[in-house]
Amino acid sequence: MVARSVLVTGSNRGLGLELVKQLVGLNVPPKIIIAACRNPSSAQELNKLAENHKNIHVTRLDVGDEESYSQLVTCVGEIVGSSGLNLLINNAGVAPKSTRINMVNWNQMTDTIHINTIAPLMLTKALLPQLKTAASQMDGSALTVERAAVINMSSILGSIERNEQGGLYPYRASKAALNAITKSLSIDLRTFNILVTSLHPGWVQTDMGGSSAPLTPVESISGIINVLQSLNEDHHGEFYQYDGQKLPW
Ligand SMILES: NC(=O)c1ccc[n+]([C@@H]2O[C@H](COP(=O)([O-])OP(=O)(O)OC[C@H]3O[C@@H](n4cnc5c(N)ncnc54)[C@H](OP(=O)(O)O)[C@@H]3O)[C@@H](O)[C@H]2O)c1
C-alpha cells in the first residue's frame, strides 16, 4: 500500500492525472484519493475515473488562491476524518516559455514562483494538522509515505549543480527554491515523523514536457509509485528522480 489517504494537486491532466489513475489501479489502492484541480467541472477524464472509483474525491483547488485554503482544509477534514491525511503530493506547476535573458520578465518570475514555490509551502502549512494526525497514528518514529509524507514535484532543472544550459530563469529558480523548502520542511517536520522529499519525474510527454520528451506519463508515474513505496529516513530532505536515482541540489 502507498498510503491510506493521498491528496494530489493539479490532478486533471498530465502527471497529476496519471498519478490518480495508477494509484486507483494498485492492488491495494488508497482508501481515499483527493484529486484536487482548478476546474472540476471541465476535468472530464478525472470525473469519469471518479464515477467508476468511489475512493476518488474530486475537489476544487487553485493552489495560487490562498483564501480558498481554509475551505479545502475543512473539506479534506470531512473526507479523511480522524485518521488524518497521510500523503500530500504537491504536483501542480507551471513553466513559462521563452525565458532566455532577453525575454524573461518580472511577471513570469513572480507568477512562476507563486505557483511552483510559495503554493506548495503554504498548502503544506495549511494541511499540517491533518498530516500530523496521520503521522501520530503509528508507533515509533520511522519515516514512510504510508505513515505521513509531503512530496514536492520538483525538476532536474531546479538543480544548480546540473545547470549547464542557463536560461529558464523562472522555472529553474522556482524549483531550486522549492528544493530549499523541501530541505527546511524536512528539518522542521522530523519531530512529527513526517517524511519530506523532492522528486523529479523525468522529462515526460505532457503539455509541459512536450512531445519530444523521452518518457511517457505511464513510465514516469510507475517509477514514481515504486519510489514512493521505498522512501525512508535516507530519502528525507533529499532529491530523487522517478527511477530512484539520487540527484544533486
Ligand atoms: N513534464 C515534465 O517533463 C516535467 C519535468 C519535471 C518536472 N515536472 C513537474 O511535474 C509537475 C506536473 O507537470 P506536468 O508535466 O503534468 O504539467 P502539465 O501537463 O502542464 O500540468 C500541469 C498541472 O498543474 C495544474 N496547475 C497549474 N497551475 C495551477 C493552479 N494555480 N492551481 C491548481 N492547479 C494548477 C494544471 O491545471 P490546469 O489544467 O487547471 O492548468 C495541470 O493539472 C509540475 O510541477 C512540473 O513542474 C514536469
Q: How far apart are CA 41 and CA 58, in angstroms?
A: 10
| pLDDT in the model for residue 1 | 83
The per-residue b/e assignment along 10-20, b for 16 or more CB within 10 angstroms, e otherwise, is bbbbbbbbbbb
Q: Is the CB of 3 under 6 A from ligand 1?
A: no
Q: Is the CB of 90 under 6 A from ligand 1?
A: no
Cβ atoms of 87 and 7 within 8 Å: the answer is yes
Q: Is the CB of 115 under 6 A from ligand 1?
A: yes
How far is the first Cα of the chain from the last one, in angstroms, to the nearest whole number? 29
Q: Is the pLDDT of residue 211 over 90?
A: yes
Closest by CA to 236, choosing from 203, 191, 174, 204, is: 191
Q: Is the CB of 152 under 6 A from ligand 1?
A: no
| pLDDT in the model for residue 98 | 73
| Residue range 29-53: mean pLDDT, rounded | 98
Q: Is the CB of 243 under 6 A from ligand 1?
A: no
| pLDDT in the model for residue 239 | 98
Share above pLDDT 90 across residues of the chain, in percent, rounded to a whole number = 98
Q: Ligand 1 centroid vs 11 CA: distance in angstroms?
A: 8
Phi, psi of 170 (to 5 degrees): -65, -45
In tens, the pLDDT along 61-88 reads: 999 999 999 999 999 999 999 999 999 9
Q: Is the CB of 209 under 6 A from ligand 1?
A: yes
| pLDDT in the model for residue 99 | 77
Q: Ligand 1 centroid vs 147 CA: distance in angstroms?
A: 26
| pLDDT in the model for residue 229 | 97
Q: Is the CB of 16 under 6 A from ligand 1?
A: yes
Closest by CA to 35, choosing from 15, 51, 48, 16, is: 16
Q: How far apart are CA 78 and CA 81, in angstroms?
A: 5
Arithmetic mean of pLDDT over the chain: 97
pLDDT level of residue 141 (50, 70, 90 thresholds): very high
- If one residue of 7, 11, 13 were mutated to test the ligand 1 pocket, choosing by the most ligand atoms within 8 A of its CB, it would be 13
Residue with the larger pLDDT of the pair 98 and 233: 233
| Domain parsing of the chain, residue ranges | 5-241
pLDDT level of residue 101 (50, 70, 90 thresholds): very high
Q: Is the CB of 8 under 6 A from ligand 1?
A: no
Closest by CA to 152, choosing from 129, 172, 130, 177, is: 177
Spatial neighbors of 64 by CB under 8 A, at least 6 apart, are 114, 115, 119
Distance between alpha carbon 248 and the CA centroid of its chain, in Å?
19
Q: Ligand 1 centroid vs 160 CA: distance in angstroms?
A: 21
Domain 5-241, what architecture?
Answer: 3-Layer(aba) Sandwich (3.40)
Q: Is the CB of 84 under 6 A from ligand 1?
A: no
Q: Per the structure block, which three cell numbers stand in for 95?
A: 513553466
Spatial neighbors of 113 by CB under 8 A, at least 6 apart, are 170, 173, 174, 177
| pLDDT in the model for residue 156 | 98
Q: Which residues on adjacent β-strands are paired with residue 62? A: none
| pLDDT in the model for residue 181 | 98
Q: Is the CB of 96 under 6 A from ligand 1?
A: no
Q: How far apart are CA 136 and CA 191, in angstroms?
A: 11
Q: How far apart are CA 141 and CA 119, in angstroms?
A: 28
| Residue range 219-235: mean pLDDT, rounded | 98
Q: Ligand 1 centroid vs 139 CA: distance in angstroms?
A: 35
pLDDT level of residue 97 (50, 70, 90 thresholds): confident
Q: Ligand 1 centroid vs 153 CA: distance in angstroms?
A: 9
Q: Is the pLDDT of residue 200 over 90?
A: yes
Residue type, 46: L
Cβ atoms of 232 and 143 within 8 Å: the answer is yes
Cβ atoms of 149 and 87 within 8 Å: the answer is yes
